[in-house]
Amino acid sequence: METAKKTINRRDFLKASALAGGGMMLSFSWLAGCKPTTEEVSKLPKAWFELNSYIKIGDNGLVTLFSPNPEFGSNVKTSMPMMLAEELDVDWKNVTVEQADFFPERYDRQFTGGSLAMQMAWKPLRTAGATARHLLINAAAQTWKVPASEITTKDGVLHHKGSGKEGGYGEFASQAAKLKVPEEVPLKKVGDFKIIGNSKRNVEGMNIVTGKPLFTLDYKQEGMLIAMMAHPPAFGLKVKSVEDKAVKSMPGIKDVFVIKTLADDYERNGFDTTSFTELVVVVGNSTWEVMNAKKALKVEWEKISDSTVTIAGFGGNKQMVKIPAGLESTEKHQVKMAEMMKKPGKELRKDGDPAGVFKTAKKVIERTYTAPFLAHNAMEPVNCFAHVTKDKAEIVAPIQAPELISQTLAARLGLPKEKIHIKLARMGGGFGQRAYGHHLVEAAVISQKLQAPVKLVYTREDDMTYGIYRPMYTATYKAALDDKNNLIAYQVKAGGIPESPLGFAQNRFPAGAVDHYLAEEWMLDSNITIGAFRAPRSNFLGAVEQSFLDEVAELAEKDPIEFRLELLDRAKKKPVGKQNDYDAERYAGVLKLVRDKSNWKQASKDVHRGISAYFCHNTYVAQVIDLTMQENKPVVEKVYAAVDCGVVVNPDAATNMSEGGIIDGIGNALYGEMTFQEGVPQKSNFDKYRMIRHSEAPKAIEVHFVKSEADPTGLGEPLFPPIFAALANALYKATGQREYTQPFLQGNKQLV
């Protein structure tokens, strides 16, 4: 049995016995309060995102579990409370789950993103549940005058076998709230779980299918006005003047004005990403009236000048970021990127003498891959409700990282952070876009100016052309084989606009499996705003690296799975370097599992197969795609996925999320692309920005999870990157053509 040791102070453990009817509320700020042993430190995540949660028990035994993290479809609102309920030992059908608001006095860094939710919550939330159970047991022991060690619990009821006494949690809640918090509590063994590992339905499922108001777009308040904004039509432009007299006289229109969302000298954080800080606002009574008035606006735009902004990163690091003037185009980007690929890059890792080995190698292969900007295109367009008065601000918003925008709100509104209340609405998708909270600042500034409640609404065109795109990337891979077809040298040089995809990936496979290895990167400044996109950077690297490895395996005349397994065996038995950030055995494990589950070498005659495997967000994934060609177009018949993400908390939800990542990846691989002409995004709605259709989804998906007692790791993102390569490798088998440029189906391109 695992033991969790901790020291909790008043702020970290709040107990309120004065609840209606008597009861107990337990609140935890765990990464602030936990003081784990050295052994436990190795299992706990780094204190980057600090999680917390709390439990409320009424005198009638009703248990309410509050989910602290914002929910955007990853089902954390079900899976995180399952951890609490497991250790608390309550019957899941008697549990009520509620979404916690952003509450910095009680919670630290409420964040959903980076596939970190389960990993970060695993120890803290289980400890929270176990601590509550411990207090209830001791309260019953005092009441019954029996040893606490003789009391057991089951489904929210306390039992003492010797005396035959029993009682529900509610009977002892108030008394338990008066007891001293223990220094350590035992946690269950994985084999003893009753709730974790058993599928539970989404606690919001009925509300979703019956259309209950869950989203900010549903939110209403008396006297609320509707606001929309006009932003520059091109990156590299700003507002010069506005002709608004005619618009102000239109029916239902209250005002037209220009706002500035960030001060020129404001020191941004990494999530204050926006190119457009001056915006024209139209405010009125209804969405339709405001939308028509916005179309009638006459705005004159002018070009921006070169500028720099200060970005304050985590840990106090500061970076000066250049925002260049100019109207950028995709064609110009392609030329600049090609030029950069000819120049030496910044060396991130070097093992051995790759340059020397390439000169004498028996076989050498070199390939270049490119990928475009991508728009997030969540089904719910950006929106936010705000009511700002001179004393406080009330915000209702779809936001992944409320704490990161709260400091920006405080600075811009001139209010202390504790006077800003953010209610976390359910998000209609996020994919990284809603980690950026510019919409909260915009709505708040508009409300503050009007001294009225306001709901800011983006149109689809606003959402798609505003920025926060996945960057544009390119990479050249090079590999050398000896006369026995062994991989002896490997090189990757990658860059992007305006960031490199390599970042932290220079130590990933096949680094550590090759004696001579080189990783280099470069970047180009841009005024086009970028941000996190599902599996940042990995969404490109996983795709192209795994495509290239298939081609290397073919050159080596080896089966692509066996080729990868040979490399992983080398990395396991005789690794090169000490910085390798993957476990070769677990990596090989998913490859073997997907090989077996797909019957890799037994595909039918007309089915073309592709394999891929990748490690990111601490999770190992291997995928096999089966496709056929119909009328010169690919049809994905089936996808097999093997996943090692440690303990699977909620299997059905994990499968659903895996399937979503696979389908999303296939759609982006085939169609995803945002292009620019003189700074203007060339796609502003779904008539031009092609998304995957229902009929194009795989006909079947099998997801197989490795049985494991390791702590849970990420799942929302890891299945997304490798599916690009599995598809590309299958397409090669079907057509004889390799895919080097995303998307694979550009314009009217037909595969033959």
State pLDDT tens for residues 54-69: 677 777 777 888 888 8
Confidence band for 562, pLDDT divided at 50, 70 and 90: very high
State pLDDT tens for residues 397-411: 999 989 889 999 999
Mean pLDDT rounded to a whole number for the chain: 90
Answer whether residue 32 shows pLDDT above 50: no
* Phi and psi at residue 554, to the nearest 5°: -65, -40
State pLDDT tens for residues 593-624: 999 999 999 988 899 999 999 999 999 999 99
**Look-up of token digits 């904004």:** 229
Nearest Cα to Cα of residue 90 among 26, 169, 2, 167: 169
Distance in Å from the first CA to the final CA of the chain: 59
DSSP 383: E
Nearest Cα to Cα of residue 638 among 671, 591, 606: 606
CATH code of the domain occupying 344-374+469-735: 3.30.365.10
What residues contact residue 697 under an 8 Å CB cut-off, 6+ apart? Answer: 636, 663, 666
Would you tell me the crossing angle of helices 169-176 and 117-144 to the nearest 10 degrees?
90
CA atoms of 314 and 48, how far apart (whole Å): 8
CA atoms of 88 and 153, how far apart (whole Å): 9
pLDDT of residue 257: 98
Residue type, 388: V
pLDDT of residue 361: 97
CA atoms of 335 and 174, how far apart (whole Å): 70
**Residue 499 tokens, joined:** 């960031």
CA atoms of 344 and 354, how far apart (whole Å): 15
pLDDT of residue 298: 96
**Residue 305 tokens, joined:** 């000048």
The average pLDDT across 619-643 equals 97
**CATH 3.30.365.10 intervals, the chain:** 2-205, 216-307+382-457, 344-374+469-735
**Residue 23 tokens, joined:** 């009861």
DSSP 412: H
pLDDT above 90 coverage of the chain, percent: 74
The average pLDDT across 554-577 equals 97
Q: pTM of this prediction?
A: 0.92
What residues contact residue 580 under an 8 Å CB cut-off, 6+ apart? Answer: 507, 508, 509, 511, 512, 571
**Range 216-307+382-457: architecture per CATH:** 2-Layer Sandwich (3.30)
Burial code (b: 16+ CB inside 10 Å, e: under 16) for 600-638 equals beeeeeebbbbbbbbbbbbbbbbbbbbbeeeeeebebbb
Q: From the DSSP assignment, how many helices (H) and strands (E) are in the chain?
A: 18, 33
Answer whether residue 364 shows pLDDT above 50: yes
Three-state secondary structure readout of 648-683: CCCHHHHHHHHHHHHHHHHHHHHHCCECEECCEECC
The DSSP string of 716-745 is: TTTTHHHHHHHHHHHHHHHHS----BSSSS
Range with the poorest average pLDDT among 49-53, 357-361, 385-389, 611-615:
49-53
**Look-up of token digits 């990936």:** 505
**Look-up of token digits 């890059």:** 345
- Residue 35 burial (CB < 10 Å; 0-12/13-18/19+)? exposed
State pLDDT tens for residues 544-554: 999 999 999 99
DSSP 428: S
DSSP 6: B
Q: Which helix (H) or strand (E) holds 384?
A: strand 383-388
CA atoms of 255 and 227, how far apart (whole Å): 10
* 2-205 placed in CATH 1.20.1250.20: no
State pLDDT tens for residues 468-507: 999 999 999 999 999 999 999 999 999 999 999 998 899 9
**Residue 249 tokens, joined:** 């006289």
